[in-house]
Amino acid sequence: MTYDKRKIESVREGYGKALALYGKLNDKVVVLDADVSNSTLTKYFAEEFPERFFNVGIAEAGMIDTAVGLALEGFIPFANAFASLICYRALEQIRTCVSYCNTNVKIAAGYSGISDYKDGPTHHSIFDLAIMRSMPDMTVLVPADSVEAGMMVKAAAELNGPVYLRLSRADMPVIFDYRHKVKIGRGVTLVEGEDLTICCMGTLLGNCLDAAEKLRSSGIYAGVIEISTLKPFDSKIIVDTAIRTGAMVTVEEHNIIGGLYSAVSECLINNNISIPVGPVGIKDHYACTSLNIDDLYEYMGLSVEDIINISKKVIRKKRK
Amino acid sequence: MVLYSEEQIFNLEEISRKLRIRSLEMIYKRGAGHPGGSLSAADIIASLYFYKMKIDPGNPFMENRDRFILSKGHASAVLYAALAMKGYFPEDDLDNWGQLSCHLQGHPDRNKTPGVDMNTGTLGHGINIAAGMLLGGRLKKINFKVYVLLGDGECQGGIIWEGAMTAAKYKLGNLVAILDYNRVQLDGFVKDIMPLEPIVEKWKSFNFEVFQIDGHNIRQILEALDGADNIHGKPVMIIAKTVKGKGVSFMENNCYWHGTAPNKDQLETAKKELLERNKK
Ligand SMILES: Cc1ncc(C[n+]2csc(CCOP(=O)(O)OP(=O)(O)O)c2C)c(N)n1
């Protein structure tokens, strides 16, 4: 980890560039988009490999089935659109033809969470992970920064089976560098802790690291772990850190129903571990439109301050 | 045949001009929005809101009002500008578009903004919802029209055609769809992304009565909207040939301006062009 708050990179840029690069190494990779290649940044792949790029127009549901057909012919299709459309509108196609049929389709869901702050709630996806996590045979990947987003292209392509890759529109702090290795199904420890564990999924990881640093100055030693594979879930890292620190905070740009908070809670119950767990996430309501992402994070309770407050709350509960 | 006075046409042209300028100002101020598709729709929106639709800004949910669904919801700027000009809410609200405290969302939200009949923003919903409204109106024995504005890229979505079949099956003569046929979508030209032609034949074969007009000619728009009143027993599709970014030379026919906000200089140049345009 080489975290520097000031180094900000576009997550979609990391994905788009990596996809074009990986296309060189693997000629089985084909890319589909639904008239948003200028936004998802699959345009880089399209420029390099026009013959392996298919823009199907504004037709997300049909695009998934077309990707399925390509997968059945032995290709590795990356189907791209906004999460709010590829997950919600094309859901039945994903259920039947990708998940149930277990086809090798990579669903690249851009503009996820509330990262498309300007376009508002129609363009947000605040419960896509609840859906995808409950879908049999679906691997669910959530990168934290541009570097990890890029690395997940290869990881997803080289995993045989359906993948939901949740990408952000946002420009976020760079957490990782080229030495980082994405291991599907494995969480990562970024900071060792004693008093509690902040467990993060996705691009709020920078906020978590900032919160841990501030907590340290008030004498609270918070560990930070990252879950970049929501499914299959790394129970071991949760159990280990839960036992060591005795309290946990989950942080996600998603509804607190069905995402990371749920996954962590289920894991703790399954392992008979009873510790306080506090959620930082969207409290089951739609967001709104904003002029910038930070204001919206604050408005939705996802800021550094929110992580600190919930951390202090779980620690108080732990002491009782 | 209705005759339209020169004055009437001129007034609507002036309203369109104002809507264009206001839309660009709003998009500039917010640093976000969709100029291309707002400018291409301005004459149609002006004709609907300031000539055709039976509505009452003091009573936005009046049961027998005509309804409007901006199926291409990303053109919200021009709709918001028109609603404010009509008096649904204060004009000043337009300057706060996108702020956390403001009712105006990136895309139209009927639960927040007075005058909006349906939440849109994800493409493809308009015709199906209009069909439901009209079936409901039929059951309630209330007569009103539903106007739906569609994008051409939007017509690539299968659900559009599901709605078209529903509207035709139930002979929804009070459904008036208008296609903002500006030939450009987000990624490029419609003909390159996913061709729609032959579009007239498509809608005809889906049992719509099809009118073809110049979507920037107010007289032709009014004729088509009034002409639609004479069609009974089948839905109407007005295919309006338009120019994406209409009225601002550097924005016209260029997908770059689909979803990019102008900077200060670009806004000033655009306003100058719009003010000079057609001034006799
Ligand atoms: C179902 C859906 N897919 C994708 C998008 C993203 N998007 C917003 S506008 C747009 C292009 C719309 O093109 P068109 O319908 O031609 O509209 P216009 O040119 O009139 O602005 C796209 C792809 C969306 N809003 N909804």
Cβ–Cβ gap A119/B121 under 8 Å = yes
Identify whether residues A157 and A16 lie together within a single domain.
yes
Identify whether residues A90 and A199 lie together within a single domain.
no
Q: Is residue A179 part of a domain?
A: no
Q: Is residue A309 part of a domain?
A: yes
Q: Which residues of B128-146 are buried (b: 16+ CB within 10 A; e: fewer)?
A: bbbbebbeebeeeeeebbb
Q: Which chain B residues in 230-249 lie under 8 Å from chain A, judged by CB atoms?
A: none
Pair of tokens at residue A235:
């129970």
CA–CA distance, B54 with B64 (Å, rounded to integer) = 8
Catalytic one of A9, A13, A51, A60: A60
Q: Strand, coil or helix: what is B36?
A: helix
Type and span of the H or E element at B150: strand B146-151
Q: Which band of pLDDT confidence, cut at 50, 70 and 90, is reported for residue A5?
A: confident
CA–CA distance, A235 with A239 (Å, rounded to integer) = 6
Looking at residue A230, which CATH number applies to its domain? Answer: 3.40.50.920
Helix and strand element counts for chain A (H, E) = 13, 14
Pair of tokens at residue A200:
């993060």
Residue B156 has pLDDT above 80, yes or no: yes
B117 touches A: beta carbon within 8 Å: no
A194 is catalytic: no
Ligand 1 atom 25: the closest Cα is on which residue?
B122
pLDDT (tens digit per residue) in A171-181: 999 999 999 99
Identify whether residues A168 and A67 lie together within a single domain.
yes
Sign of CA dihedral A261, A131, A140, A288: negative
Q: Is residue B85 part of a domain?
A: yes
Asked which of A173, A197, A232 is the last residue of a domain, the reply is A173
Q: Is residue B1 part of a domain?
A: no
Across chain B, what does the average pLDDT equal?
97
Q: What is the reported pLDDT for A92?
A: 97
Asked which of A111, A144, A173 is the last residue of a domain, the reply is A173
Q: What is the reported pLDDT for B142?
A: 97
Report the predicted TM-score, pTM, of the whole model to 2 decimal places.
0.94
Identify whether residues A227 and A266 lie together within a single domain.
yes
The number of distinct structural domains making up chain B is: 1
List, in sequence order, every residue forming a beta bridge with A125; answer none if it has no partner. Answer: A113
Please give the distance, rounded to the nearest whole angstrom, from the Cα atom of residue A35 to the centre of ligand 1.
8
Q: What single letter denotes the amino acid at residue B4?
A: Y
Identify whether residues A167 and A23 lie together within a single domain.
yes
Q: CA of B46: how far to CAs of A71, B15, B37, in Å? A: 48, 6, 14
Q: What is the reported pLDDT for A191?
A: 98
* Interfacial residues of A (vs B; Cβ cutoff 8 Å): 33, 35-39, 43, 55-62, 84-85, 89, 118-123, 288-291, 295-296, 299
Residue B279 has pLDDT above 90, yes or no: no
Identify whether residues A165 and A260 lie together within a single domain.
no
Task: Choose the closest CB to A57 out of B30, B156, B255.
Answer: B156
Phi, psi of A101 (to 5 degrees): -80, -10
Q: Is residue A1 part of a domain?
A: no
B114 touches A: beta carbon within 8 Å: no
Asked which of A120, A142, A173 is the last residue of a domain, the reply is A173
The shortest C-alpha distance from A61 to chain B (Å) reads 8
The number of distinct structural domains making up chain A is: 2
Q: Compute the average pLDDT of residues A140-164.
A: 98
Q: Which band of pLDDT confidence, cut at 50, 70 and 90, is reported for residue B277?
A: confident
Task: Choose the closest CB to B73 out of A122, A290, A296.
Answer: A122
Q: What is the reported pLDDT for A11?
A: 97
pLDDT (tens digit per residue) in B230-263: 999 999 999 999 999 999 999 999 999 999 999 9
Q: CA of A267: how far to CAs of A260, A263, A287, B133, B264, in Å? A: 10, 6, 28, 47, 53
Give the number of other Cβ atoms within 10 Å of residue B182's Cβ. 27
Q: Which band of pLDDT confidence, cut at 50, 70 and 90, is reported for residue A308?
A: very high
**How far does CA A203 lie from the centroid of its chain?**
7
Pair of tokens at residue A268:
């703790």
Identify whether residues A23 and A140 lie together within a single domain.
yes
Q: Is residue A181 part of a domain?
A: no
CA–CA distance, A72 with A75 (Å, rounded to integer) = 7
Type and span of the H or E element at B228: helix B218-228
Looking at residue A141, which CATH number applies to its domain? Answer: 3.40.50.970
CA–CA distance, B187 with B36 (Å, rounded to integer) = 13
Please give the distance, rounded to the nearest whole angstrom, from the Cα atom of residue A277 to the centre of ligand 1.
41
CA–CA distance, A207 with A168 (Å, rounded to integer) = 15
Disruptive mutation site among B193, B196, B197, B254 for chain A (greatest number of A CBs within 10 Å): B193
Looking at residue B72, which CATH number applies to its domain? Answer: 3.40.50.970
The predicted complex's ipTM stands at: 0.90
Relative to the CA of B75, which ligand 1 atom is closest?
Answer: 21
Q: Which band of pLDDT confidence, cut at 50, 70 and 90, is reported for residue B1?
A: low
pLDDT (tens digit per residue) in A241-273: 999 999 999 999 999 999 999 999 999 999 999
Q: What is the reported pLDDT for A95?
A: 97
In chain B, residues with a C-beta closer than 8 Å to the C-beta of A60 are 157
Task: Choose the closest CB to B158 out of A61, A118, A122.
Answer: A61
- In chain B, the N- to C-terminal Cα span, in Å, equals 27
Pair of tokens at residue B138:
């039929």
Residue B273 has pLDDT above 70, yes or no: yes
Q: Which residues of A251-270 are buried (b: 16+ CB within 10 A; e: fewer)?
A: bbbbbbebbbbbbbbebbee
Across chain A, what does the average pLDDT equal?
97
Q: Give residue ranges with CB within 6 A of ligand 1.
A: A 34-36, 58, 85; B 34, 36-37, 40, 72, 74, 121-124, 151-154, 157, 180, 182, 184-186, 244, 258
Q: Which band of pLDDT confidence, cut at 50, 70 and 90, is reported for residue B280?
A: very low
Q: Which chain B residues in 136-155 lie under 8 Å from chain A, judged by CB atoms?
A: 153-154
CA–CA distance, B230 with B212 (Å, rounded to integer) = 16
Query: E strands, A59-125, where?
Result: 76-82, 106-110
The residue among B274, B197, B194 whose CA lies nearest residue B241 is B197
What residues make up the domain containing B225? 6-279
What is the DSSP track for A196-256?
Answer: EEEEEESTTHHHHHHHHHHHHHTT--EEEEE--EEES--HHHHHHHHHHHS-EEEEEEEES
Q: What is the reported pLDDT for B278?
A: 61
Q: What is the reported pLDDT for A109?
A: 98
Name B192's Cβ contacts closer than 8 Å, sequence gap at least 6.
none
Supply the Cα-derived Rg of chain A in whole angstroms: 19
Identify whether residues A99 and A245 lie together within a single domain.
no
Q: Taking CB atoms and an 8 Å cut-off, how many pairs form between chains A and B?
A: 96
Q: Tell me if A12 sits within 8 A of A41, measured CB to CB.
A: yes
Identify whether residues A120 and A51 lie together within a single domain.
yes
Identify whether residues A144 and A267 lie together within a single domain.
no
Residue B210 has pLDDT above 60, yes or no: yes
**How far does CA A192 lie from the centroid of its chain?**
22
Q: Which band of pLDDT confidence, cut at 50, 70 and 90, is reported for residue B31?
A: very high
**How far does CA B80 lie from the centroid of its chain?**
11
Q: Is residue A3 part of a domain?
A: no
A65: region left, alpha or beta (phi > 0 left; psi from -120 to 50 alpha): alpha
Identify whether residues A101 and A155 lie together within a single domain.
yes
In chain B, residues with a C-beta closer than 8 Å to the C-beta of A296 are 100
Cβ–Cβ gap A38/B187 under 8 Å = yes
Q: Tell me if B243 sits within 8 A of B40, measured CB to CB.
A: yes
B72 touches A: beta carbon within 8 Å: no
Sign of CA dihedral A152, A87, B195, B32: negative
Give the number of other Cβ atoms within 10 Å of residue B259's Cβ. 20
The residue whose CB lies within 8 Å of the most ligand 1 atoms, and thus the one to mutate among B74, B127, B149, B161, is B74
Phi, psi of B26 (to 5 degrees): -65, -45
What residues make up the domain containing A292? 188-319
Sign of CA dihedral B266, A292, B96, B58: positive
CA–CA distance, B76 with A229 (Å, rounded to integer) = 37
The residue among A77, A33, A39, A38 whose CA lies nearest residue A55 is A33
| Omega prior to B198 cis, within 30 of 0 | yes
Q: Compute the average pLDDT of residues B70-81.
A: 98
Identify whether residues A36 and A157 lie together within a single domain.
yes
The shortest C-alpha distance from A292 to chain B (Å) reads 9
Give the whole-number percent of chain B exceeding pLDDT 70: 98
